Structure 1
């Protein structure tokens, strides 16, 4: 597949906090309408708004509303699956008392659903009329990964 990452490149993926030095990379995906289609927010239009977001929000967090995004030019290369596996590994290693991770995905976001499935998450069902997204009520698909299901890499 043209433009896909090799397994060597995928092994070089690392997770780290989003910082102000990442603003140019942040703006690549935060201004991309394909990326923000399933987000609660519209594409960013200014670097100043991006900087404010980074300062106030950060990015990948482990709490009730976590999120992970990357530019559409990187879709379909295995990066998402690898990143989700890395996050799950880290969570289960650092918080050994946790038994369950959950992920909610827009019912129309088939690619993200597939990423979760490849990362070992189980599809549990559809939460009907779960969230209002950009003025319309949307269904979400619930996925879970249990610590007993998960093999740490």
Structure 2
């Protein structure tokens, strides 16, 4: 019989804001097609484009963090708040270097992020996870982090030239454990 993992407290895993000096670590996963296949953004193929993205998008973003192992970025996690009409909700997204998949790191990062997000972005009343239907690993991450599966959005996004079905998940502040 296997032991249950404490997904909330993996040793050495932390979240922090990105810095421009993280560009080479960022490229390690953001330049990997295996990782970015489920991302809405394209794989970064040159360091200069990645640095520009960090400077212009990531660093000024209201909630975009590096997932770190021993303070070294191995992935990213963000919540994008809605616009004025839907500012009560935010969408979570994350990417993790493929060499760290299956270790509970993404689940730990999502669990840690959710607790911070509702404090840092007090207008949010829900966090949504929109996952490609074929991305079973990411669905497991959200389920293990306590998100509720709400349903399937058919032909919801066209990403990288392909229209995809999306599974939608949500998390509400009332679902935070003490």
| Superposed CA offset, 1:57-91 (max 9, x none) | 11424424543212100111111001001110002
> Is the contact made by 2:92 and 2:127 (CA closer than 8 Å) also made in structure 1?
no
Give 1:1-153 correspondences, 5 Å limit. Answer: 10-58=10-58, 59=64, 60-64=78-82, 65-96=91-122, 98-152=124-178
Number of aligned residue pairs: give it. Answer: 148
Q: CA deviation at 1:16?
A: 1.3
> Is the contact made by 1:130 and 1:138 (CA closer than 8 Å) also made in structure 2?
yes
Question: Which stretches in structure 2 are left out of the alignment for 5+ residues?
Answer: 1-5, 59-63, 65-77, 83-90
Comparing 56-65 with 29-38, which one deviates more in the overlay?
56-65
In structure 2, C-alpha distance between the alignment counterparts of 1:78 and 1:20, rounded to whole Å:
27
Question: Could you say if the C-alpha distance between residues 95 and 53 of structure 1 is closer, same or farther in structure 2, counting changes exceeding 3 Å?
Answer: closer
Runs of 4+ in 1 over 4 A off after TM superposition: none
Question: Could you say if the C-alpha distance between residues 151 and 96 of structure 1 is closer, same or farther in structure 2, counting changes exceeding 3 Å?
Answer: farther
Question: Could you say if the C-alpha distance between residues 96 and 77 of structure 1 is closer, same or farther in structure 2, counting changes exceeding 3 Å?
Answer: same
In structure 2, C-alpha distance between the alignment counterparts of 1:41 and 1:49, rounded to whole Å:
12
Question: Could you say if the C-alpha distance between residues 23 and 95 of structure 1 is closer, same or farther in structure 2, counting changes exceeding 3 Å?
Answer: closer
Question: Which stretches in structure 1 are left out of the alignment for 5+ residues?
Answer: 1-5
| Superposed CA offset, 1:2-38 (max 9, x none) | xxxx98x823322111111111110000111111111
Q: CA deviation at 1:95?
A: 4.2
TM-score (norm 1): 0.86
Question: Could you say if the C-alpha distance between residues 11 and 127 of structure 1 is closer, same or farther in structure 2, counting changes exceeding 3 Å?
Answer: same
Between Structure 1 and Structure 2, the one with more strand by share is 2
